[in-house]
Amino acid sequence: MESIVYWINEIVWSNALVILCLCAGLFFSFKLRFPQVRLFREMIRLLFGTKKSDEGISSFQAFTLAISGRIGTGNIAGVATAIAMGGPGAVFWMWAIAFLGSASAVIEATLSQTYKEVSKGEFRGGPAYYILKGLKSRPFAVLFAVITVVSCGFLLPSVQSNSIALAVEKAFNFSTLHTAIAVCLLLALIIIGGVKRISKVAEVVVPFMAISYIVMALVIIGLNISEVPQMFSLIFKSAFGLDATFGGMVGAAISWGVQRGIYSNEAGQGTAPHAAAAAEVSHPYKQGLVQGFSVYVDTLFVCTATALMILFTNQYNVLDEGSGFIVENIPGVEAGTAFTQNAVSVHFPSFGNEFVAVALMFFAFTTIMAYYYIAESNIDFLLKGKKVKYGIWALRILILGSVCLGCLKSAKLAWTLGDIGVGLMAWINLIAILLLYKKAVAIAGDYETQKAAGKDPQFDSSVLNLENADYWNSKVKGDSTDK
């Protein structure tokens, strides 16, 4: 079975998907005139510019909900595996996909807001909704929804729980079985409360965990400040085959950098639009810009901090294409969380392992919460009516089972299953938003036209003749604005 899983992953994550991710991000950047640079200040302003309502959460809550999905194991273990498989140059390609992917995130979040709807007093939206309403293809929408339920309900949570279990075992010598029980019990208490409880937890936990981890990284970077130019030089040279040691790894650097970059920041994957749809805003493009900013926070801040800590301390191995090593600085240590734990422990031996384990617990746990919300949104899409509650309870059992099994199974298998989930979602979502990009560009143009006229943009779908964007039709929605 494991050999079949690895074979499927090689097909899903072929060079075609890597090229699609990079080219889609570049294409959207040009079509939107590089909003990730041009509208950076506007992104930050909008982050705190809206309030929640009875149906929706605030932009900041939607941001933290999306960040809780983006900041996770990918920022700690994912960066380590990217370096292990692609060399230091993989970090550059993580930056590249973050910069270009920010435009993809803007597009998908804008579309998700545009085609959202109210279900049982809460906003629901995501790729399945904009595929159905924008592309008018129910089979395509159902396919995405089913794959998302399987991916977020089973394939992806196990990666997070596996990393929690391994980190806690290394730091506290706590058995993986006991970790599985503890994580499942805590998760069960939260997910039964619904999206608003999830957003409230994320709103408190995410800023705390991100700031704590980044402060620790900045301290270590400060202690090694003289080496920063050398590390950046190593990353850039390795990315383009100019480094003597890693010169032959350009292909691997691109492939693993993009793959782990997408896994980490989720730009174009189709997960973050679910959180974006839950926000209460007066114009879809507002939330698109907020979600574009969240990609920066994830990769350019958190992943870079992790990478520098690992590279400063030489706590990494780099594998060749066979079974050997190009660099083996820490013999016998498997690629993953242990690289980061060892790196922090070089400077803080008394609590380095424990600190990273605790940070990872926060990162990974909130990511699992976000996965649950995403899967629940797609259950709601698939099972309209009375059957929804049965589907949601089945999902709760599935995700708790995945979390439990993830704590107990091998890291390699858990990561491969997660990669398959990410890749399948990315394939479908990127194709969908490429087909819908003209609508998103028109919506962006409407926003910027109103801004140029000195207005606080208010969206009316009838102005652009958008079909099936019923929530935004002035005749349906009325004069509802954010304050």
Please report whether residue 138 resides in a domain.
Answer: yes
Structurally, the chain folds into a number of domains equal to 1
Query: For residue 56, what are its two tokens?
Result: 């929706």
Please report whether residue 407 resides in a domain.
Answer: no
Please report whether residue 382 resides in a domain.
Answer: no
Please report whether residue 391 resides in a domain.
Answer: no
Please report whether residue 214 resides in a domain.
Answer: yes
pLDDT at 265 over 60: yes
Contacts of 95 by beta carbon, 8 Å cutoff, 6+ apart = 261, 299, 300, 304
Q: What is the mean pLDDT of the chain?
A: 86
pLDDT at 333 over 90: no
Question: What pLDDT digit, counting tens, does each position of 14-48 carry?
Answer: 889 989 999 999 999 999 999 999 998 888 888 77
Please report whether residue 116 resides in a domain.
Answer: yes
Answer with the residue of higher pLDDT: 208 or 70. 208
pLDDT, position 281:
86
Question: What pLDDT digit, counting tens, does each position of 185-196 carry?
Answer: 888 887 776 556
Question: What would the mean pLDDT of 98-104 be, rounded to a whole number?
Answer: 92
Please report whether residue 22 resides in a domain.
Answer: yes
481: confidence class by pLDDT, cuts 50, 70, 90? very low
Structural domain that includes position 428? 1-156+195-351+417-455
443: confidence class by pLDDT, cuts 50, 70, 90? very high
Question: What pLDDT digit, counting tens, does each position of 191-246 carry?
Answer: 776 556 666 666 677 677 777 887 888 888 898 899 999 999 999 999 998 888 88
404: confidence class by pLDDT, cuts 50, 70, 90? very high
pLDDT, position 194:
58
* In the chain, % of residues over pLDDT 90: 41
Please report whether residue 98 resides in a domain.
Answer: yes
